[in-house]
Amino acid sequence: MNLKGILSVATYPGLYKHVAQAKNGLIIENVSDGKKCLAYATSRISALEDISIYTTDGDIKLSEVYANLYKTLDGKATPFNPKKASNEELTDLFTKALENWDRDRVYASDIKRAFVWYNLLLENNLLKPEEKEEEKKEEKSSETASKAEKPAEEEGGITVKKRTRKKKTEE
């Protein structure tokens, strides 16, 4: 999952995309409704790509947790509303997605927030499995390789004459 450019801003509800740099902060766009606003430099801004979840083996990136959750739920949203779910429901589903999460350092509120963000990203088509993205990259690279093998003058059965310009020399 690619979470590049997706931000969480303390005291602002929801998730935001980074649009531009402003003199005294960042211009951000709400993922849900597309409204733009200013996040001041004094705000606590967190990039989702930098967030990790504690595990018994170390840390794991949030994008990997979302990839596991996406596979576990078959690309669907959580079967419950994370804001109203019990701690048991939250931890059961989180354990299915990430078996070795650190139960001492990851709180129910962290899991709840992760599920709310997951549903929000999924709802706005911002969660895409990396396998598909890698396949697209491989297809593009194979297409460019096959075009490179063909002579440059022939494209799609049409012969194109290339013109060369002669440089004017000053005498």
Q: What is the domain-level CATH number for residue 68?
A: 1.10.10.1650
Q: Give residue 10's domain range.
A: 6-47
- The CATH number given to whatever domain includes residue 31 is 2.30.30
Domain count, the chain: 2
Q: Is the pTM here over 0.75, yes or no?
A: no
Taking only the tens place, the pLDDT of each residue in 160-171 is: 444 455 555 554
Query: What distance separates the 2 farthest-apart alpha carbons in the chain?
Result: 86
Q: For residue range 132-152, what is the model confidence (pLDDT) as tens digits?
A: 445 555 555 555 555 444 444
Which tens digits make up the pLDDT trace of 4-35? 999 999 989 999 999 999 999 999 999 999 99
